[in-house]
Structure formats: structure tokens, C-alpha cells
Structure 1
């Protein structure tokens, strides 16, 4: 089984594409894939989000608050199930990134309704200590896994190794490299998006992944 932790900027276009790449991979693998989209909020993310070259303290604080509220909303949605939480995050990203809507209470509530969330429970959880604690736990996990930027993933092949691979650029091509390196599937079959239910898998992992694929690093 593959276990994937993708660390995401909740309002980032690159991260949204990385999420879709992981969903696409899960759809085309016969091997079970367990994945989590873990929200990340760093000073670097805030800096990148600000359009001005010399933002004021008030602008920094406002940007941080926007991202923080988006993350807490995502955590509140997750409390009602991983699938609902994931759908809520993707819908939120689509609304803000593709449709250029601004984050607001009205937008969040509308998306929560569209995702068939229990609205009273969602609103209560959105501002709860539990959501805030969950956010802090995510940031600690990112630090433990040495995450320095969003759209980074840590991938474990639970069948063959206790060590994870850190992938700093989660393109579909790079994910295919990981699967081939771990003996899960051939890159050719995944790139062609074939249904390879009859394909054989190998239980062989290599410790030289970072040398063969520059975007991979052993943890």
C-alpha cells in the first residue's frame, strides 16, 4: 500500500494541480493508495500570496488570517469525513483560483452546503479549539517530515520499507517515477493511463532513489 502525505497551500493553484495528480494516480493504480492533503501555512506562503513587494504588517496579518480561516474551514469539513473534506477543499480552490472569488463567510457556507455538510456542525467546528489543534498538529508533522515548501509530498510504500520519499514537485510524471522506482507499476503503463489490473508488481525498493531521480529524497 502507498501512503501519501501532500502538504498544500489551501489556496494555491500549484497545490490544486498536485492534489488532482494524486487523485489521478489513485484512480489508475490497483495497489491501494491512502492519501492525506495536509494544509501548510508558512511565512513563505504568505509572502508569495502578497502582490506588493513591501507589504505592510497589516497586509501580512490580513493575508495570514485569510489562509488560516480557509484551513480551519477545511479541517471542519474533514471532521465529517475525508471524502467530504477533500471535496470541500477542491471546491474552495476552484472558486478562489479559477473563478476568482474572494474568501468570505458566505462563500464558505455555500460550498459547505454544496458538499452536503451538516451546516450547524460545520459552523461550530470551523471556530473550534479542535480545528485549531488539528492545524497545529499538521504544522508539527510538516516540521518532522522536513517540509520546506507547499506542494511537497512524502510517500511511503508500506509493503517494503519504513522510510519515506520526499517529493518536492508533485507532477504526475514524478509520481509515476516513484511508482516505478518502488515496483508498484511501470511508468509507461501509468503515463498511458491503462487499466493494468493484470500487471505484476514487485516488492523491491531501492535506497538510491535520490540518485536516479533528482526530485526524490530519502527521509
Structure 2
């Protein structure tokens, strides 16, 4: 599918990379979490050519089971009043907003795009691995600490106009680009006259790889880090994730991880949503 042309202002953010990929995500979307290993591999192999911009497309339904108190003031995702600091229901108690997880991600991004990505990944781990309620302010603080954010700054920014306006901007981008579901990736090249390529849902890695190769033209892949380096960077991994990134079977991935467990480099942990492997410090 194709997406609308994008404005000149957005292309100033390309940082001299030939591809800009807009990744539309919802922090509670399981498919967004499932796409993460593909994004990791894409960055590791084609990081020279691509820049990924996370755009939040948050829905109201299901984000916070506890917060019906202010539903009347949150009837529209794009209602500017609902996202204005003076009218925001989280102004005095951030726990009460169904937008809180998305606002928290934008607050984290105020400390840098990499900080925002780390926080999103930590948030998803808390939700999908530990099944914790990421609409609770205390859980968000723990995520910020684990993502190595400045905690005081994060706690201030989560209440700020800047974070709420950034989230509002993401919702506007989603609307303008006619993104209906998450995850959705939209690939743009350097020629702003060309339409973007929109991919909705999760597909095999080869699909995204083919798009990159066609849009860039015979890119040279970067070498993947060693398995030990990968584990060191991401701390907690699953066997299917390792298998996808290193083109091996899940059985082979488990053998590699069990070998490292015997070497006391990782430990096997069982969580509500399956078995994972965590680096030993």
C-alpha cells in the first residue's frame, strides 16, 4: 500500500540516511511487541541506511482497566482539550488517565530518541512478560529507572505540556497518514515526491528486507553482533527472538542459550508468558 507524501520539515530529521521508517505502535498491542525482534535485526543489519521514528497510535479501549472516572472527557483521541495540561485528568493524579502509558513514552523521548526506545521496550517487557499494569504510575517509574532515565526529569515531564502535545502530534500524524491499525511501518526514501510504502501488520523479516533493498539499491549489510554481544545489550531474550535474528531454528537457539547457562552467562527464567533467558551480571 502507499501512504501520503510527507512534508519538507519532516525530511530535515533524516540525518542523512536514505530511508525514514515511521513505525506506528500502541504500547499495549501484542503485535507491536512481536515486531520488535524484526526491528532489532533491521537496525543491526541496515542501521547505516535507515532511521526509525516511533509514532504512537494509542486507542482508548483496554489501555487502562481502572480508569472509567474521566471517560466523558476523553471521547476523542484527537480532542486537544483532553490532551491539554490544564484540562488533563492526569494533572493531579497521573494514574487516572488511559493515555498515561503513551504520555509516559513521550516524556521519556524528551530525554532523547534512544531513551524513548529503551523506555518503550522496558514498558512492553513489564506488560507482556510480567503482566503488570502499565497504567499505574509506580510501574512507569520503575520502567523509567530500568531504562536509565533521569527519574526526576521523567516525573516532571510526564505532567508537562510538552509530553501531551507530543502525543497529540503523533495522533495527528496517524490521522493524516491514514494509519488504521498497529503495528504499521511506512517507508520513505530521500525523494519527497515519491509516496511511502505502507506495511500493516507483522510479516517475515524477508518482506521488510526486500523493501529496504529495493528502495536503497543493493545496500551492504552490517555484520550482526555476536550472540554474547546481543545478550549483553538486551539483557532478557527469548529463544524465538534469537532464532529469528541469527537465522537458526528454535532448537539451535535453545542449545546456544543452554550452553551459555552452563557457562553461567545467562539464567533461564519462567514468566507468565513463557520462558526467557536473562543475562547474569
TM-score under structure 1 normalisation? Answer: 0.72
- Give CA deviations for 1:137-181 in whole Å, capped at 9, x if unaligned: 111111111101110111112269632111112432321231233
Give the superposed CA RMSD. 3.2
Judge conservation of contact 1:12–1:97 (CA < 8 Å) in 2. Answer: no
Which residue, out of 172, 182, 185, partners 1:153? 185
**Using the alignment, how far apart are the partners of 1:87 and 1:102 within structure 2?**
18
More helix by share: 1
Partner of 2:44: 27
Q: Structure 2 matches for 1:169-180, cutoff 5 A?
A: 169-171=201-203, 172-180=205-213
Q: Structure 2 matches for 1:22-61, cutoff 5 A?
A: 22-29=39-46, 31-42=48-59, 46=61, 58=68, 61=71
Q: Structure 2 matches for 1:173-192, cutoff 5 A?
A: 173-185=206-218
Once the 2 structures are TM-superposed, how far is the Cα of residue 20 of structure 1 from its aligned partner?
3.2
Task: Determine which structure has more spread, i.e. the larger CA radius of gyration.
Answer: 2
Judge conservation of contact 1:78–1:84 (CA < 8 Å) in 2. Answer: yes
**Using the alignment, how far apart are the partners of 1:91 and 1:41 within structure 2?**
17
Judge conservation of contact 1:41–1:67 (CA < 8 Å) in 2. Answer: no
Which residue, out of 199, 204, 214, partners 1:167? 199
Once the 2 structures are TM-superposed, how far is the Cα of residue 117 of structure 1 from its aligned partner?
1.1
Judge conservation of contact 1:153–1:170 (CA < 8 Å) in 2. Answer: no
Which residue, out of 131, 136, 141, partners 1:100? 131
Judge conservation of contact 1:21–1:170 (CA < 8 Å) in 2. Answer: no
**Using the alignment, how far apart are the partners of 2:46 and 2:218 within structure 1?**
8
TM-score under structure 2 normalisation? Answer: 0.57
Change beyond 3 A, Cα 1:16–1:192: closer
Is 2:159 the partner of 1:127? yes
Q: Secondary structure at the residue paired with 2:187?
A: strand
- Give CA deviations for 1:36-56 in whole Å, capped at 9, x if unaligned: 11111235xx26x699xxxxx
Change beyond 3 A, Cα 1:192–1:116: closer
Unaligned runs of 5+ in 1: 52-56, 195-219
For this pair of structures, how many residues does the alignment match?
183
Change beyond 3 A, Cα 1:42–1:100: closer
Judge conservation of contact 2:41–2:245 (CA < 8 Å) in 1. Answer: no
Unaligned runs of 5+ in 2: 1-17, 75-95, 225-243, 248-281
